[in-house]
């Protein structure tokens, strides 16, 4: 309990930083929402960079594995990661289309799962919120797949922008709560 109070007091001194970081994230989120195509391409480049790094690491790791079958599998996976990562840089629109399709399927599956979970847990208080969330998630997935592949040019950028804005508001809220404590 005392350590929690000490931690909160230490964080209270940093409340201005929480607010500043939150404002920066909100501004970046608004920029991403205003320039959704550029934010989509940036997202694809970022994911591509991560895939190339992971592929190189996996390919290098494959040389340290003793068994031929295992090392060949790791090397193949590493090369595939590198290939897809590089494809992200040379064909960002195609990759954003594929990612958008995957996201729409994930949203649809998540929506059905939440709806199923809600009906199986009707005895819990506020189970309707899970049902509502599932319905909204399902509808969102169906809307995205309905506009695919054309909407692929902005969907990832929109998701990035919304995420940054919500993260920013969360940081601002934490900073203000700490400041007022």
User: CA–CA separation, 80 vs 84, rounded Å?
Assistant: 6
For 9-29, what is each residue's pLDDT tens digit? 777 788 889 899 999 999 999
User: CA–CA separation, 31 vs 34, rounded Å?
Assistant: 5
User: CA–CA separation, 146 vs 39, rounded Å?
Assistant: 21
- Mean predicted confidence (pLDDT) in 40-69: 88
Enumerate the domain spans of the chain: 19-180
Residue with tokens 């209270």: 12
Q: What is the pLDDT of residue 101?
A: 93
Query: ∠ at Cα 109 (150, 160), nearest 5°?
Result: 50
* Inter-residue contact 81 to 51 (CB < 8 Å): yes
Secondary structure of residue 125 in the 3-state scheme = coil
- Mean predicted confidence (pLDDT) in 85-95: 93
For 97-129, what is each residue's pLDDT tens digit? 999 999 999 999 999 999 999 999 888 778 888
Query: CB neighbours of 82 closer than 8 A, spacing ≥ 6?
Result: 51, 52, 55, 56, 59
Whether the per-residue pLDDT at 3 is higher than 90: the answer is no
Omega into 54 within 30° of 0, i.e. cis?
no
User: CA–CA separation, 98 vs 47, rounded Å?
Assistant: 13
The reported pTM is 0.73
């Amino acid at each position: 309990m005392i350590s929690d109070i000490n931690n909160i007091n230490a964080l209270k001194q940093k409340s201005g930083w929480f607010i500043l970081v939150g404002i920066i994230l909100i501004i970046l989120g608004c920029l991403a929402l205003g320039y959704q195509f550029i934010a989509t391409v940036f997202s694809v480049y970022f994911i591509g960079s991560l895939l190339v790094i992971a592929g190189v690491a996996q390919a290098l790791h494959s040389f340290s594995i003793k068994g031929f079958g295992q090392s060949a599998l790791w090397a193949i996976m590493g090369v595939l990661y590198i290939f897809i990562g590089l494809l992200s840089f040379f064909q960002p629109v195609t990759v954003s289309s594929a990612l958008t399709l995957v996201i729409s399927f994930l949203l649809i599956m998540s929506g059905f799962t939440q709806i199923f979970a809600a009906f199986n847990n009707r005895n819990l208080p506020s189970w309707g919120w899970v049902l509502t969330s599932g319905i909204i998630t399902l509808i969102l997935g169906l809307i995205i797949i309905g506009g695919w592949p054309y909407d692929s040019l902005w969907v990832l950028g929109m998701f990035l922008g919304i995420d940054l804005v919500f993260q920013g508001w969360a940081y601002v809220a934490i900073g203000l709560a700490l400041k007022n404590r």
